[in-house]
Structure 1
Amino acid sequence: MKKLTTWYWIATITFALMMIMDGFGGVTQQEAGKEVLKHLGYPMYMLIIVGIAKLLGSLSILQNKYTTIKEWAYAGFAINFIGAFASRAFVGDGVSLLIPPLVALVMMFIPYILWKKVKQMLKIVKTK
């Protein structure tokens, strides 16, 4: 149980830090983000909206009190990564630009699955 919990926190903190950095980049409207949005045809204010959502989502997955909010945060990240993949595909980007959103999606599922396993283990421990 302790090993599983440790791996859960390592994966969760790593993923949350990645999303915090990306969210901060969006909120501060970094040039790389602006170029991507322009290329994809999205308005520039999307950087701030998605950046704030990533910051709030990161805080949500780091807490364990409000599980529904945590579920919604993971769902929001999944929608973001699937949307990024679809946007890249629709504008005709090559495979090298289609892979990163899928990698991010897989990386998101690691802490999510570990969280579910930890929750399940805690239920078993409590019933004993």
Structure 2
Amino acid sequence: MKKRDKIIYWVATVWLALGMVSTGVVQLLQIKEEASMIERLGYPLYFLTLLGVWKLLGTIAILIPRFPLLKEWAYAGFFFAMSGAVFSHFAVGDHPKELFGPVLLIVLTIVSWYYRPTERKTALVSA
């Protein structure tokens, strides 16, 4: 792996981890603004707990060594959660500025996944 690719991977991964941990903690704490936003989007309040836990566990999964299949699931979960957030904001007619956070986290997820080192990738298994 080239040095440039390692730098891209770690910058994207650290920012992704910071974004997921910070939003996950806010969701677990069910801060007033977050609670009102999730209800405005049409989701039950307990959804914040699910998202918060998944984000924290996913962050651990992408940062720890080994377990490449678990990392794939974490990246997929991040992508699904953030793309769901984008479409949820669209569905209720939110201002485009509300899309910045989820879109940024989608981009960071894709960049981190694409540039991950070989030892963090799943091996292709032939049947």
TM-score by length of 1: 0.83
Which residue of 1 is the match for residue 40 of structure 2? 39
- Write the deviation string for residues 23-75 of structure 1: whole angstroms up to 9, x where unpaired: 11111111221021121111111111100000000000102310000000000
Residues 98, 22 of structure 1: alpha-carbon distance in 2 compared, 3 angstrom cutoff: closer
Which residue of 2 is the match for residue 26 of structure 1? 27
Which residue of 1 is the match for residue 118 of structure 2? 119
Distance 2:15 2:101 in 1: 16
Unaligned 5+ runs, structure 2: 120-127
- Write the deviation string for residues 86-105 of structure 1: whole angstroms up to 9, x where unpaired: 11111122322234322221
Unaligned 5+ runs, structure 1: 121-128
Distance 2:110 2:102 in 1: 13
Distance 2:5 2:99 in 1: 31
**Percent identity (aligned):** 34
Which residue of 2 is the match for residue 17 of structure 1? 18
- Write the deviation string for residues 75-124 of structure 1: whole angstroms up to 9, x where unpaired: 00000111001111111223222343222211221111110xx318xxxx
TM-score by length of 2: 0.84
Distance 1:101 1:11 in 2: 14
Instruction: Give the 4+ runs in structure 1 shifted more than 4 A.
Output: none
Provide the aligned C-alpha RMSD in A: 1.7
Across the two proteins, how many residue pairs are aligned to each other?
A: 118
